[in-house]
Amino acid sequence: MVPGPVYSPDTLFQDCQGSHQDNPGESIKEPERTQDHSLPVFAGGQHFFEYLLVVSLKKKRSGDDYEPTITYQFPKRENLLRGQQEEEERLLKAIPLFCFPDGNEWASLTEYPRETFSFVLTNVDGSRKIGYCRRLLPAGPGPRLPKVYCIISCIGSFGLFSKILDEVEKRHQISMAVIYPFMQGLREAAFPAPGKTVTLKSFIPDSGTEFISLTRPLDSHLEHVDFSSLLHCLHFEQIIQIFASAVLERKIIFLADGLSTLSQCIHAAAALLYPFSWAHTYIPVVPESLLATVCCPTPFMVGVQMRFRQEVMDSPMEEVLLVDLCKGTFLLSVGDEKDILPPKLQDDILSSLGQGINELKTAEQINEHVSGPFVKFFVKTVGHYASYIKWEANGQGRFQERSFCKALTSKTNRRFVKKFVKTQLFSLFIQEAEKSKNSPAGYFQQKILEYEEQKKQKKSKEKTVR
């Protein structure tokens, strides 16, 4: 019997535990498919979201602590089958914890900086749901507690959902009743294909009818990413070392004060791995009650608020890269991070990152500029993978690992790739490639073809010179 979906906080730590509380004795399987990056990419046509939730702080019956509680849910689902109802209950039980990861000690405030962040809930089958959050102080007189608007979706597109949260926030200043028709219209609209726009018609009291345009980036593999925070917090050399650690699937912890900074930086770090997908524990902001994650013996990429720095430092950890995003330093490291990547290719990344960075204006330009050198790194090291898949009569592909590694003429490149092919990052990617002779016509494949064409032109010029 296949276990049903389990969206509770324990599920996120499936790599640390042999079984789940709700399914004792059933082993957790690794996902059997890979994605273009750590979050799903959609062609278009799906629903924008599954739920809009408002999570508020409610005082516990005993003591002065507060408990995050869902106080509004759209849509309300009725007539669910028993299995569906159990899945919904597990999902809704987990969400408040990630909307308020700071713990239970709160006091009423008169000022609070709004924060936009996201979290990821991983199911036992490897599928992921993303929570897009806007935490703010609701309008009103006197001291009050912050609340969170949370949109749950299977779609990774941070910029688009940030704009939707702007609209939700604007309407909530008027009345919760004004949110409903907007979200209903959004729910009925189809998620646009890359580069396309969906326009929603919405009526707001005293303002009249508004038309809201939501445009999806043309380059969909970077639509969940904003590299600006990572560039603001760290130097290029440090970003390359984080990338190197992630490529070898090590443990990486980010520390920062703000939820927005943590969320954006960890998504950016995971996006550097494109076209490979981080398949291990991945938590943009770890709730206080789950800080034991940092003791996990297997790979993880997590974000922890700076207030819990000492708890993290006191935890028994091995081979971890601990990144202080506030000071732009590494508090802990293995020590060989500068030596993981081939020196020449590492220099190429560094040189490319520095060229023209100050001339970039838009988030899309920055994303492309930062991502490009890392994609090119993979093109140069493993871009020849398709030529080393041997196809059998039954249509099953078999990857020829030894020949693939030997094909690299550079000794340093070959040394690196021999380690990389043993990772789950590469294994999942190749498993997917072995399923079909037709390579996916994606961004990575496009860059491989461009690189091969450049090599042909270079050889042709060299022959002409001779």
Query: What domains can you pick out in the chain, each with its CATH number?
Result: 9-194 (3.30.450.200), 228-345 (3.40.50.11500), 364-465 (no CATH)
State residue 21's pLDDT score.
Answer: 33
CA neighbor of 176 nearest in space, from 200, 201, 213, 205: 205
Distance CA 14, CA 31 (A): 11
Task: Quickly tell me which residue has 């990419």 as its tokens.
Answer: 41
Instruction: Name residue 114's amino acid.
Output: R
Tokens for 279? 């398949």
State residue 441's pLDDT score.
Answer: 64
pLDDT by residue, tens only, the chain of 466 residues: 333 333 334 344 333 333 333 333 332 233 332 333 344 444 455 788 999 999 999 988 777 788 999 999 988 877 778 877 888 888 889 899 999 998 777 888 888 888 999 998 877 666 788 999 999 988 788 899 999 999 999 888 888 899 999 999 888 888 878 888 889 899 888 888 888 899 988 878 777 788 888 888 776 778 888 899 999 999 999 999 999 999 999 999 999 999 999 999 999 999 999 999 998 989 999 998 889 888 888 999 999 999 999 999 998 888 899 999 999 999 999 999 999 999 999 999 999 999 988 888 888 889 999 999 999 999 999 999 999 999 988 888 999 999 999 999 999 999 999 999 999 999 999 999 998 877 666 789 999 999 999 888 888 777 776 6
Q: For 230, which DSSP code?
A: H
State residue 466's pLDDT score.
Answer: 60
| Helix or strand (DSSP H, E) at 320 | strand 320-324
β-partners of residue 130 are 120, 153
Tokens for 173? 């200043």
**3 state SS of 143:** coil
Q: For 190, which DSSP code?
A: B
Strands 251-256 and 320-324: parallel
Phi, psi (degrees; rounded to nearest 5) at 204: -125, 125
Phi, psi (degrees; rounded to nearest 5) at 109: -130, 155
Distance CA 38, CA 432 (A): 15
